[in-house]
Amino acid sequence: MPKINIEYREQETIFDRLGDLPQVAALIGWTLIKLDKDSDSIDLCFTASSEFTNPAGNVHGGFITAMLDECMGSAIVGLTDAQFMPATISMSTDFVKPVPVGKVFGEGRITSRGNSLAFLEARLMDSDGKTLARAIGTYRLLPFLGSPKNNSAPH
């Protein structure tokens, strides 16, 4: 597999207008790489710090799950221009390989969406594109309560 190319986006997205990152996103080093409405997907980067490790020195499963949840939830927010706030109903996670400290890359994809529910999948990868963990999730679509800072212009 080719190495992941970290070409940070140049186009404006809804995330530019939402204000500060939620605390959990900031904690795990959430960074947007690409939002692709044509493929209903989002590419993210996270920074797994040494504080996230289990006794074996790998990233704890709870932090891995949080990263996967952020991939899926961010896909809903970004791809719907913040029309919906996702609430996780269920999530199934597969821990494929140990996740090391450092940069971790994530992809979230909407597989099906109705008026009140969405089904998504996500995966975390190393810089070589090898899958470290994957998840599927079901999300309730709630009206987004926080309005973007400025609906007409980027900040």
For residue 48, give the nearest of 66, 75, 73, 33 by alpha carbon: 66
CA atoms lying within 13 Å on the CB side of residue 143: 2
Q: What sign results for the dihedral spanned by CA atoms 16, 17, 22, 23?
A: positive
Residues 4, 128 contacting (CB under 8 angstroms)? yes
DSSP secondary-structure letter at 101? S
Pairing between β-strand 102-113 and β-strand 84-95 as defined by DSSP bridges: unpaired
**Structure confidence at residue 15 (pLDDT):** 74
Question: Does the pTM exceed 0.85?
Answer: yes
Q: What is the pLDDT along the chain (155 residues), one digit of tens a residue?
A: 456 655 555 666 777 677 788 888 989 999 999 999 999 999 999 999 999 999 999 999 999 999 999 999 999 999 999 999 999 999 999 999 999 999 999 999 999 999 999 999 999 999 999 999 999 999 999 998 765 554 443 32
Distance between CA atoms of residues 132 and 146, nearest Å? 33
Superfamily name and number for 14-143: Hotdog Thioesterase (3.10.129.10)
Amino acid at residue number 132 = L
